[in-house]
Amino acid sequence: MLTASDLLPGAYISTPLTDPYVPIDQELKGEQAKPSSPEGCHELRLDALTGLSKVPLSAMLFQPYGAAGSGVQYTQMVVHDSNAVARQVTSTETCADRWLTDSRGRNTARRVTPLPEPSSMPDSARVFLWHTWQDDAGSVERRIDGYALVGNMGMHLFATSSGEIEIKEFESVFRKAVNRFAEASSGR
């Protein structure tokens, strides 16, 4: 796992999520209550979220010091099943540019744009840029997701912000996260 010092030194605090399944369960409940469209997306998202909810995982939250809600927040999840993460990647790719219900029950139009993979990464690393428009509030949440698969393990790192997210900064943090994850997964 990353540590707060892997980010901007002195700028972040880290907190382990005592129940890392809460965000997954919230998103799963939203998907069950109001299925994503068009046809086929609902089943893919259910499969991906249900798969994540049934495997061992751990998660760490990194929040910036300062005013609550300002800056970029990072969440790292380590999943003990690479297939569960692969299904999440497939769901993300297939259900790009779709309507769905977010974890707060809001109708959301999501646009997903793949980014070039950062240099010096394992072959299994994938990076996506998400722009999410929240329909009923009129607000925009930006999100960048990075996925990595190593052996039978998977990792998901994402950054969220109501403002801009510096892609180069995310790439730097993602590279550190993937390298630490790859070392830990291979037992080095």
Query: Residues 47-86: pLDDT tens digits?
Result: 999 999 999 999 999 888 765 446 888 999 999 998 998 8
End-to-end alpha-carbon separation of the chain, Å?
A: 14
Phi, psi torsion values for 30, nearest 5 degrees? -65, -40
Q: What sign has the CA pseudo-torsion 22, 15, 112, 140?
A: positive
Distance separating alpha carbons of residues 182 and 188, to the nearest angstrom: 9
Convert the pLDDT of each residue in 9-25 to its tens digit: 677 888 888 898 887 88
Whether the Cβ atoms of residue 120 and residue 128 lie closer than 8 Å to each other: no
Whether the Cβ atoms of residue 91 and residue 48 lie closer than 8 Å to each other: yes
Q: Is the pLDDT of residue 98 over 80?
A: no
Q: Is the pLDDT of residue 135 over 70?
A: no
Whether the Cβ atoms of residue 159 and residue 170 lie closer than 8 Å to each other: yes
Domains and CATH numbers, the chain: 13-185 (3.40.1000)
Q: Is the pLDDT of residue 165 over 90?
A: no
Beta strand segments in 80-125, E: 98-101, 107-114
Whether the Cβ atoms of residue 144 and residue 159 lie closer than 8 Å to each other: yes
Better pLDDT: 123 or 158:
158
Token pair belonging to 96: 């790009």
Distance separating alpha carbons of residues 13 and 61, to the nearest angstrom: 8
Whether the Cβ atoms of residue 110 and residue 100 lie closer than 8 Å to each other: yes
Please compute the mean of the pLDDT values over residues 152-181 and round it to a whole number: 86
Of residues 163, 133, 129, the one with CA closest to residue 146: 129
pLDDT of amino acid 167: 84
